[in-house]
Amino acid sequence: MLLTATRIHNGKHWLPEGTVIELSADGTIMALHDYTPSMDVQSYNGIICPGFVNTHCHLELSHMKGQLPEHTGLVPFLRNVAVLRNNYTQEQKITARSAAFSHMLANGIVAVGDIANTADTIDLREADKIHFHTFVEAIGFSETPSLQFEQAQSVLQQFAGQKQVKKITRQSMVPHAPYSVSRQLFSLIDKLDENALISVHNQECRAEDEYYLLKEGEIRDLLKAVGINDDFFIPSGKSSLQTYLQWLSPAHPVIFVHNTFTGRVDIEVAQTLLENVYWCLCPNANLYIENTLPDIPMLVEECKNICIGTDSLASNNSLSVFAELLTIKQHYPSLDWEVLLRWATFNGARALQLDNIIGSIDPGKAPGLLLINPEVDERVTILN
C-alpha cells in the first residue's frame, strides 16, 4: 500500500512534499519514496503522522468520569478521589475502563504509560491492542514503609505474571508523588531496580514545594487530615524535585509528570543529575484541577524531551492525546505543529522506551498511521 497526504510528519519533523509511504499489510513501514506519476497512491487531505503515545494515564480511575468538581485545586481533588474511588461496583469499574480504553484506541493511541494502584487493568493489557508500560505506584509517607512497599510489590508481581501477548507489556514500581512517598520509601523503590523506568507526579501544585521548603501549607494539612504523623520529616529548604532527586539513582530514566509549578533551576538540576529525563504535560488535567497551565514556553526553552499525557477521567473529559495538543495550541498559538506532534509521538515513544518499534515513520517500524486536520476539526482517522 502506498500513502501520501498534504503533509507528513514522521514523528520528528515534516517530510518533504510528495513523500510516499510504502506500508505492508501488517502495518510495517517498508520504505519512503518520492512521488512519481506511475505510482498507485492513496492521497489524503490533512496530516499523516505516527500513532500517539499517552505517556501518563490512570485507566483504573475511568469510573470517576464527571464525578469530581473542577477547579478545586489539587489537595481537595486528592481528598475527593480517596473518598469516592471505591464507591462503585466491580461491574461499573470494568464497564468504565473498557469504554475509556476503546475511546483511547479510537483516538489513535498506540502505547500508554498507565498508572496502577491495583491490578485491575491487567485485562486491558491482555487485550493485546496497544503497548503498555504499567507504573505501579507505591504510596506511603512513613518512616517505616515496609508494608506499603510490599503491597506495591504484590501488584507489580501480578502484572509481571500476566499471560504473554504480542504487544509490549512492561511494568516498574514508582513513587506516586513527593508528598505521598517518604524518603525511606523512595529508597526502597530505588533499590528494587536502580535502572527501572520511573514516573512521578511532580510539582503539580505550589503546596508541594511549600511543604519541602517550610513544612507548612495545604500538604501538611492533608497529611494531618488522613492521620499521618510527619514528625520524622525535616524540610530541606529546597523544592521537592531538588530534594527527592538525591534519593534516586542517576541511572533511572525519569518521566516527570505535570510540572505545573516547575522552575528553570529545577529543570537544570534534573537534567544535570539524571542521564535520561522526560517532561510529561497533561494540560487538560491541569486546567480541570488547578485551572492553570505550566509555563510551557519556558519548558520549551529548557527541557530536552517533552511528551504528552492525559491523566485520568477523574480529571479530564477525554483520554485523547490530540485533544491535549489542541489545548496547548489554543493557549500558545505560536507553537508549531511540527513540535507538538514530536511531543505526542516520537518523544512519548522514547520516554516509554518503545522508540525502536513505534513513534516515527521509519522503515522497519510499525508506528500506526493517523490522519488529522487540526485546522478543521478534532477528528482522528486511523489509517492502519
Q: What is the pLDDT of residue 84?
A: 87
Mean of pLDDT values over 134-141: 98
pTM above 0.75, yes or no: yes
Looking at domain 1-50+360-384, its CATH architecture is Roll (2.30)
- Closest CA relative to residue 312, chosen from 84, 141, 154: 84
Contact 307, 280 (CB under 8 A): yes
What percent of the chain lies above the pLDDT cut of 70?
100
pLDDT tens column, 151-196: 999 999 999 999 999 999 999 999 999 999 999 999 999 999 999 9
What residue spans define the domains of the chain?
1-50+360-384, 52-358
Contact 56, 257 (CB under 8 A): yes
Place of cell 500476566: 162
**Alpha-carbon separation of residue 284 from 100, 308, 312 (angstroms):** 16, 11, 10
pLDDT category of residue 86 using cuts at 50, 70 and 90: confident
Least confident of 124-128, 352-356, 374-378: 374-378
Q: What is the pLDDT of residue 348?
A: 98
CATH topology of domain 52-358: TIM Barrel (3.20.20)
